[in-house]
Amino acid sequence: MTEAVTKQVTRIRRALVKAATDPTERARYLRTARSKTTTRVKQALPRKLRGDLELPAAHLPDGPVNRPGLRVAVLLDPFSELAFRYEWDQVAPTPANWRSEFTARRPDLFFAESAWRGNDGSWRLAMTGSSGPSQDLRDLLDWCREHGVPTVFWNKEDPPNYDRFIATARLFDHVFTVDADRLPDYRRDLGHDRVQLLPFGAQPRVHTPVRPKGFEPHRYDIAFAGSYFRDKHPERREQMDAMLPVAQKYGLHIFSRMQGEDERYQFPTQFQKNIVGTLPYPQMLAAAPAYKLFLNVNSVTLSPTMCARRLFELSAAQAPIVSGPAASIEPVFGDTVPVVTDRAEAETRIGVLMRHPELRDRQALLAHRRVFAGHLYRHRVDQVLETVGLPVQPRRRRISAVVPTMRPDQVDHVLATVAAQVHPDVELVLLTHGFAADEPALRARAEELGLEHLVVREIDAAVTLGAMMNVGAEAASGDYLAKMDDDNHYAPHYLSDLVNAFDYSEAQVVGKWAHFVHLRSTGATLLRFGHKEHRYVDLVQGGTLLMPVDVAREVGFKDLPRRVDTTFLDKVRARGGRVYSADRFNFVSVREGSPDGHTWSITDDQVLTRSSQLLFFGDPLAHATV
C-alpha cells in the first residue's frame, strides 16, 4: 500500500469514527449522503426531450414593434420580456449600464414587474430578500424621478407574494396588479390611488396558431407543462391529481419545469413515465400545434382576476384547454375554457374533447376570439400608457368590403351580409356590373340594416372582373380590402376573425384555403382542403382575400375576366409576399347547379372529385358559423 493510499484510508476511518460519535458531524454526513443520492436520482431523469418526440422548432420573429419610437426601459423576467418586446422599443438595462444607457437616450417610461431574476439575472433579488429593494434599483428610480420619466411597477406575483414586493412597489409612481382583491391593500399601504388592475395577456407574435411548414399538427394527445408541488399549493395539487390520471389513458406528455431539481417539486412515481423532458419557454410555445389538448392548473383559485398566463397564451394559439377551477376563468373566458373540479368531471370533459376534434376546434376559436377582443399585451400597454399620461395612438382598422355583382337580385343579400359583420368599422364598396343601381333606395336599405358606410360604383358590362377590382380598390377608404362574392355566405365574425390574422402572421394576404362548399343542386356541403388551415399557402379561395388596401393598389389585379384571384396571389408571392390560410369557419362558398354565372367554371361532380370531403346534406350555415 502506497503512502498516499494509506493516508486516504486513515482520513476515511477518522471521518467514520467522528460521524458515529459526534452528533453534529453525523448530521452533516447524512445531509451530504442525501444530497449525493438526490443528485443521482436527478441525473437519471430526462432533462432533454425524449428521443422519439418530434416538435417544431421555435421561431421568434424580429420586429416590427407596435409603437416604434416609444423607448421603454424594462426590468422583466424572460416570459414577460418576450411578451412586451413587440409593443415598444425595449431596452433592458443592468445595474452596471443603466446610467450610461439612460444618459445616452432618455427612456419615455421605466416598466418593471415583480421579477426574481430580472433582465437575464442581472437584477437578481433586487426587489426582494434582505437587500431588496437594492440600492441600484433605488438609484435608477431616483434618476427617473429627477428626469421626469414615469415609473410603473406590475406585481404579477399577487396575491401570494404581495408582502415580498410591497417595499419595492412604494418606490414607483404607478402600481398595477393581476389581482383585483389586492387593490384596497395597495391603496392602504401606499397611501395613494395610483393603483390599477393589469392581468396577464397574450402576445400574438409568439402565441400564434400558425402551423410550421411540413409539420403535421395534433400528432400527440395531451400535454401538461409545469411542476408538481408536494408541500404547498394544495388546491393546485388536487387539480393535477384529478386530471393527470385521466389524461394518462389517452397519452400524456409532461414537460416538467423543475425536473432534476428540488425533490419537493418532482412528480409522483405514477407520472414519471409520462415525463418527456424540459423545454425552454420559446420551444414550449412552438409545441402548441403538436397536441390535441392542453391541461391547466391554478395555484391561485380565489382571485377574481388572477388567471394563469398560459390560459391567455394557449387560447391565442387556438390550442384547446381543460382547466382546474379558479374564480377568474369564467369572467374572462366564459365557457370557452372548460373547468373540471374532480376526477369524474375530468373523465367526461377530457373524454368528450379527445373524441370530437370538431368540438375542440370550435372551442379553441371561441377562446382565441375572447383573447383578441381585449386581452392582448397591446391592450395592456395602451392601458399603462394612458394611465401615466403618454400618448395612445388609436388603432384604425376599417375594412372595405369590395363586392362586384352582375345580379341585381343579389344586392340585398350583399347589403345584409356586410351589415351583419360584427367588426366595428366596415365599408361596403358595391360594384354593379352592367346595370344601374337605384342608389337612394340602396342607401335607405343600408341605413335600415345599420350599414353606415356605402360606396356605389356602376361599371360597364364590358369591363373585366380584374379591372373592376382595381376600381373598387381606388374607391375604398379602408385600411384593409376584403374581396367578397355576392352569393357566398359570410358569418358575422368572418371579417373580425380574419383581420386578426395580420397580428400573428407575416402575410400580405390572408384568406381561407380550407373552406366549406355548398352545392345547391344536391344540398351537399363539402370541406375542401381541410389540411390547409393555419398555414402559409400559395392560394386561398377567391372570395376570401383580405389584404392591406395599399397591397391591393400596389400589386393590382390583372385585366382579366377569370383567374383574377390566382394571378393576383401569384404577383404577391413573386414580390416576396406571403399568403396565409386561416381557419375554415364562418365562410361558405355557394355553387349553383350550373357552372354558368361562376368565374370558376366547373361542375358539381368535378368539385366532388377534387380535394374535398363530403360532410352532410342540408343548411350549411349552422355548421360553418362559430
Whole-angstrom distance, CA of residue 323 vs CA of residue 308 = 10
Give residue-wise pLDDT tens across range 480-501.
999 999 999 999 999 999 999 9
pLDDT tier, 606 (very low <50, low <70, confident <90, very high otherwise): confident
Check whether the bond before 133 is cis (ω within 30° of 0). yes
Whole-angstrom distance, CA of residue 616 vs CA of residue 613 = 9
Q: What's the average model confidence in pLDDT over 137-154?
A: 99
Alpha-carbon dihedral of residues 330, 334, 340, 346, nearest 10 degrees? -160
Domain that holds residue 582: 399-624
Looking at the structure, tell me whether residues 346 and 430 fall in a common domain: no
Looking at the structure, tell me whether residues 432 and 470 fall in a common domain: yes
Would you list the DSSP string of 56-94? PPP-------SSTT-EEEEE--HHHHHHHTTTSEEE---
Task: Classify strands 524-528 and 515-519 as parallel, antiparallel or unpaired.
Answer: antiparallel
Number of domains composing the chain: 4
Residue 357: closest CA among 420, 306, 293: 293
The pTM (predicted TM-score) of the whole model is: 0.89
pLDDT higher than 90, residue 320: yes
Looking at the structure, tell me whether residues 575 and 531 fall in a common domain: yes
pLDDT tier, 22 (very low <50, low <70, confident <90, very high otherwise): low
Write out the three cell numbers for 514: 380550407
Write out the three cell numbers for 400: 372595405
Looking at the structure, tell me whether residues 433 and 580 fall in a common domain: yes
Would you list the DSSP string of 402-428? EEEES-GGGHHHHHHHHHT--SSSEEE
Are 464 and 559 in contact by the 8 Å Cβ rule? The answer is yes
Please report, for the domain that includes residue 101, its CATH number. 3.40.50
456 beta partners: 430
Are 152 and 75 in contact by the 8 Å Cβ rule? The answer is no
Give residue-wise pLDDT tens across range 41-95.
233 334 566 778 999 988 899 889 999 999 999 999 999 999 999 999 999 999 9
Task: Classify strands 117-118 and 123-124 as parallel, antiparallel or unpaired.
Answer: antiparallel
Residue 381: closest CA among 372, 373, 390: 390
Looking at the structure, tell me whether residues 444 and 583 fall in a common domain: yes
pLDDT tier, 554 (very low <50, low <70, confident <90, very high otherwise): very high
pLDDT higher than 60, residue 16: no
Looking at the structure, tell me whether residues 403 and 459 fall in a common domain: yes
How many other C-beta atoms lie within 10 A of the C-beta of residue 140?
25
Looking at the structure, tell me whether residues 343 and 454 fall in a common domain: no
Answer yes or no: is 515 within a domain. yes
Q: Which amino acid is at 583?
A: D
Are 275 and 267 in contact by the 8 Å Cβ rule? The answer is yes
Answer yes or no: is 65 within a domain. no
Looking at the structure, tell me whether residues 428 and 313 fall in a common domain: no
Please report, for the domain that includes residue 416, its CATH number. 3.90.550.10
Would you list the DSSP string of 510-536? EE-SSEEEEETTTTEEEEESGGGTTEE
Are 489 and 621 in contact by the 8 Å Cβ rule? The answer is yes
Answer yes or no: is 49 within a domain. no
Q: What's the average model confidence in pLDDT over 107-127?
A: 96
